[in-house]
A = this chain, B = another copy of it.
């Protein structure tokens, strides 16, 4: 009997799910549009139905031991999604509890996609065997999953790890979705990269292929494509993005002293274009004590499957935790 887990990645548009083993091998995979169901209850029932169907199609004997879910604004401690701006259901959604009830009380755990990415890196990727590291996801926004002593840092309320909302520009910072100004994610994310490129385009008359694209249609992918072809403005936009990110990572290092930091997500998919300037700025700004000592690298998980692998790894991590019993003798 093969032990598998289900990994589920929820975003505003798509819900993707897979059956995965402890080595990160994906046995079956599927997806459906998240907004298919107006009622949250029906959405949860659909997840169960889809996973059962996937399991039924698999022709090797297997057991689904646990279910891990990466979802926006979700809380590991409560199992709920809380006030997610990008989902159609509002308020507090008891995702883990409802799904677990449908699966005969199997362990179901949720966390946000950045924490799932960190666990994915730890179980399947470049952070195997590491106890202290961080994964920074550079998508539309900037998320981070911080691992301390082998466990994700969830903090007092389950929402720790908001590196994207470190304020890095004090005066006239860009407005952030969180309601404040100057947050890191306004600079180091696909949105941030785009805004930086637009500012560069407005300010200069330099020859650049980006001028051929109407500004409102310009995407971070266009910028990456142009930068790879050597376009100076596009390259400059990546350099500025990396500079902001590297400075923030130097601060992160001072607080958590990680063995390594991994970059993942869409912007990280531009590889050296973002890695090189980030590393330069990180090394320039970090305390002498850590110069040349903290590895900065790209996530080793395949970009396409990273979210579901992270979710699956979350389930595996949970089983490992449950198998650890703690006995205490008290003297003091």
Inter-subunit contact B256/A166 (CB<8 Å):
no
Q: Shortest CB–CB separation between residue A166 and chain B, in angstroms?
A: 5
Inter-subunit contact A323/B319 (CB<8 Å):
no
Q: How far is the CA of A288 from the CA of B73 in the complex (A)?
A: 14
A327: contacting residue among B254, B288, B325, CB under 8 A: B325
Q: How far is the CA of A328 from the CA of B159 in the complex (A)?
A: 28
Q: How far is the CA of A160 from the CA of B65 in the complex (A)?
A: 36
The chain B residue sitting closest to A66, CB to CB, is B332
Query: Chain B interface: which of A10-18, A228-236, A245-253?
Result: A245-253
Q: How far is the CA of A211 from the CA of B326 in the complex (A)?
A: 61
For this chain, the copies found in one complex come to 2
Inter-subunit contact B324/A285 (CB<8 Å):
no
Chain A residues touching B, range: 35 or more
Inter-subunit contact A287/B165 (CB<8 Å):
yes
Chain B neighbourhood of A330, CB < 8 A: 320, 323
Inter-subunit contact B65/A331 (CB<8 Å):
yes
- In this assembly, does A179 line the interface, its C-beta being within 8 Å of a C-beta of chain B? yes
Inter-subunit contact A178/B247 (CB<8 Å):
no
Inter-subunit contact B319/A162 (CB<8 Å):
no
Q: How far is the CA of A328 from the CA of B251 in the complex (A)?
A: 36
- In this assembly, does A297 line the interface, its C-beta being within 8 Å of a C-beta of chain B? no
A166: contacting residue among B156, B157, B251, CB under 8 A: B251
Inter-subunit contact A180/B287 (CB<8 Å):
yes
- In this assembly, does A316 line the interface, its C-beta being within 8 Å of a C-beta of chain B? yes
Q: Shortest CB–CB separation between residue A314 and chain B, in angstroms?
A: 12
- In this assembly, does A293 line the interface, its C-beta being within 8 Å of a C-beta of chain B? yes
Q: Shortest CB–CB separation between residue A155 and chain B, in angstroms?
A: 3
Inter-subunit contact B323/A250 (CB<8 Å):
no
Inter-subunit contact B167/A285 (CB<8 Å):
yes
- In this assembly, does A268 line the interface, its C-beta being within 8 Å of a C-beta of chain B? no
Q: Shortest CB–CB separation between residue A133 and chain B, in angstroms?
A: 8
Query: Chain B interface: which of A32-40, A145-153, A213-221?
Result: A145-153
Q: How far is the CA of A160 from the CA of B134 in the complex (A)?
A: 13
Q: Which of A132-191 contact B (CB under 8 A)?
A: 132-133, 146, 148-149, 151, 153-163, 165-167, 170, 178-180
- In this assembly, does A22 line the interface, its C-beta being within 8 Å of a C-beta of chain B? yes
Inter-subunit contact A324/B323 (CB<8 Å):
no
Q: How far is the CA of A43 from the CA of B21 in the complex (A)?
A: 56
- In this assembly, does A3 line the interface, its C-beta being within 8 Å of a C-beta of chain B? yes
- In this assembly, does A255 line the interface, its C-beta being within 8 Å of a C-beta of chain B? yes
Inter-subunit contact B324/A328 (CB<8 Å):
yes
Inter-subunit contact A323/B316 (CB<8 Å):
no
Binary contact track A119-136/B, C-beta < 8 Å → 1, others 0: 000000000001111000
Q: Show 27 A/B contacts (Cβ-Cβ < 8 Å), sorted by A.
A: A65-B331, A146-B255, A148-B149, A149-B153, A153-B255, A156-B258, A158-B257, A159-B257, A159-B290, A160-B257, A161-B255, A163-B254, A165-B254, A166-B254, A167-B250, A178-B288, A178-B289, A179-B288, A180-B287, A180-B288, A252-B255, A320-B331, A320-B332, A323-B330, A323-B331, A325-B326, A325-B327
